[in-house]
Amino acid sequence: MDLDKALILGIESSCDDTAASILEINPNGSHIKSSIIRNQFNLHQEYGGVVPEIAARAHVELIDVVVEEALKIANVSIQDVNAIGVTAGPGLIGGVMSGVMFAKGLSASTNKPLIGVNHLAGHALTPRLTDRVNFPYLVLLVSGGHCQFLIVHSHHNYERIGGTIDDAPGEAFDKTARLLGLLQPGGPSIEEAAKTGDEHRFDLPRPLLNREGCDFSFSGLKTALMRKRNDLIEEQGGLFKQDICDLSASFQQAMHDVIVKKSIRAIDLYCEITNENPVFSIAGGVAANKKIRQSLENICKTKKVTFSAPPLALCTDNAAIIAYAAAERFLNDDYDDMTLSARPRWPLDNKKSAILGSGKKGPKA
């Protein structure tokens, strides 16, 4: 890059939220000038009427609005932007496609370079955006739809050393909350209910806890919790408030124990592979859970590992992290062309998983 600074527009529409951000990169680091996120709730408020949560149409209707707003709040025009980064997968196909089509159109009409970003790379690179962490480092990515340990060797080289073989933790939190009649999203509801609960009352399984390696399984935990709940309902004819709190606390504790123990193992494995202590980072919505976050911080202290936990707003889905991942490629003059296509499935570590028929074009990043 021959410029003193560059502005990257990031666009994200791979799940329920539609987001846009303007990121400034300069030799001293990165600066988020704006980051706009709209979900269905805002949409209802502003436009009235019912919009299907999942609809690609909702994204189509919102993308230009959020991009305009991101530009306005950053106080720049589209002409000032140096490149357009967009989530090209993985995610909900309709949503990803809306974002990619919009970005292509914008790129063609403004002559700005187009960069397709892997949504997971956005999360995995966040420690570089916030703490300027050097490669390589270790990331635990835990969210509604994902759960994996990654060694980030560079912005286009990710080594997956473990992950879930069934449900993601965020999903397990949501489904558990539903089973207990708590509000969605499940993460915050379970955490709140667990505060006054007894985590020792119910003995829930810690799936794969003692198995070698860094893989997770959460499906059985959810089923075990359901059984305890059903037993209680059968015995008492329903659930008392304390039962819900105790079940929440026991569930959170099981989740916590598994994530913490596997993190210790991942750190050890990282040391074996690279012969050095990692910087350990966490990303994704589950990073919001205070109990889990605190324990991860503690194990890092014990193991003399630097812990980098991005602020919560950057842990959940947003477009600033997409702009940043695009910036890493922009700095290497690595662009996409108009053949960029949406990829609903797009594993970051493509050495481990074969990518079969999930898009004609392989990942450039």
Partner 1 sequence: MKKIVISNGPLETKKLATLFKANLQKGDVVLLKGEIGAGKSHFARSLIQSAMYIKEEVPSPTFTLVQVYDTTIGSIWHADLYRLNDYSDVIELGLIDAFGEEIVLLEWPERLGYLEPKDSLTIEIIILEGDRREIIFSTTSSEWKPRLDKILKDQ
- Residues forming contacts to partner 1 in the complex (CB under 8 A) are 15, 52-57, 90-94, 144-146, 163-168, 170-171, 174-175, 178-179, 219, 222-223, 226-227, 344-345, 347, 353-354, 356-358
Phi-psi category of residue 89: left, alpha or beta, with phi > 0 → left and psi -120 to 50 → alpha: left
Q: φ and ψ at 51, to 5 degrees?
A: -120, 125
Residue carrying the six token digits 């020792």: 200
Q: How far is the CB of 51 from partner 1 (least distance, A)?
A: 10
Amino acid of residue 10? G
- Decide: 20 and 70 in contact? Cβ < 8 Å: yes
Pick 143 or 263: Cβ nearer partner 1? 143
Q: φ and ψ at 346, to 5 degrees?
A: -155, 85
Q: How far is the CB of 8 from partner 1 (least distance, A)?
A: 26
Q: How far is the CB of 54 from partner 1 (least distance, A)?
A: 6
Q: How far is the CB of 169 from partner 1 (least distance, A)?
A: 11
Pick 93 or 299: Cβ nearer partner 1? 93
Instruction: Quote the Cα angle for 269-345-179, to 5°.
Output: 80
Q: How far is the CB of 250 from partner 1 (least distance, A)?
A: 16
Q: Where are the beta strands (DSSP E) in 216-365?
A: 279-283, 306-308
Residue carrying the six token digits 């590992």: 305
Q: Of 146, 78, 141, nearest to 112 (Cα)?
A: 78
Q: Which contiguous run of DSSP H or E holds residue 324?
A: helix 320-330
Pick 132 or 178: Cβ nearer partner 1? 178
Pick 89 or 197: Cβ nearer partner 1? 89
Q: How far is the CB of 171 from partner 1 (least distance, A)?
A: 5
Q: How far is the CB of 269 from partner 1 (least distance, A)?
A: 19
3-state secondary structure of 22: strand
Pick 112 or 119: Cβ nearer partner 1? 119
Pick 127 or 186: Cβ nearer partner 1? 186
C-alpha distances out from residue 111 to 65, 78, 105, 108, 263, Å:
20, 11, 10, 5, 44
* CA–CA distance, 325 with 319 (Å, rounded to integer): 10
Pick 10 or 347: Cβ nearer partner 1? 347
* CA–CA distance, 177 with 247 (Å, rounded to integer): 10
Pick 127 or 347: Cβ nearer partner 1? 347
Q: Going by DSSP bridges, is the β-strand pair 157-163/137-142 parallel, antiparallel, or unpaired? A: unpaired
Q: How far is the CB of 111 from partner 1 (least distance, A)?
A: 32
